[in-house]
């Protein structure tokens, strides 16, 4: 049985760009921040921000 040996090394070049901007969303007030690095906390209510890109599956 050799049905699944066409791509033994999948590459994910899209997620390896350090300069790529990500969208962070506040879970409390819904504010969105676009930055290349994690802004840390919401500029409006100071609650933790969540990276929206990582939540997409």
- Interface with Zn ion by CB under 5 A: which range of 7-15, 18-26, 32-40? 18-26
Q: Which is nearer to Zn ion, 7 or 55 (CB)?
A: 55
Residues with Cβ within 8 Å of 54's Cβ and at least 6 positions away in sequence, in order, are: none
CA angle 34, 49, 19 (to 5 degrees): 35
The reply on whether position 32 binds Zn ion by CB under 5 A is no
DSSP 39: -
Q: Does 44 bind Zn ion (CB under 5 A)?
A: yes
Interface ranges with Zn ion (CB under 5 A): 26, 28-29, 31, 42, 44-45, 47
């Amino acid at each position: 049985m050799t049905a699944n040996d066409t791509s033994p090394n999948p590459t994910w070049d899209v997620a390896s760009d350090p300069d790529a901007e990500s969208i962070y969303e506040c879970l409390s007030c819904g504010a969105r921040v676009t930055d290349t690095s994690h802004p840390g906390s919401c500029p409006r209510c100071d609650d933790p921000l969540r990276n929206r890109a990582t939540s997409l599956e």
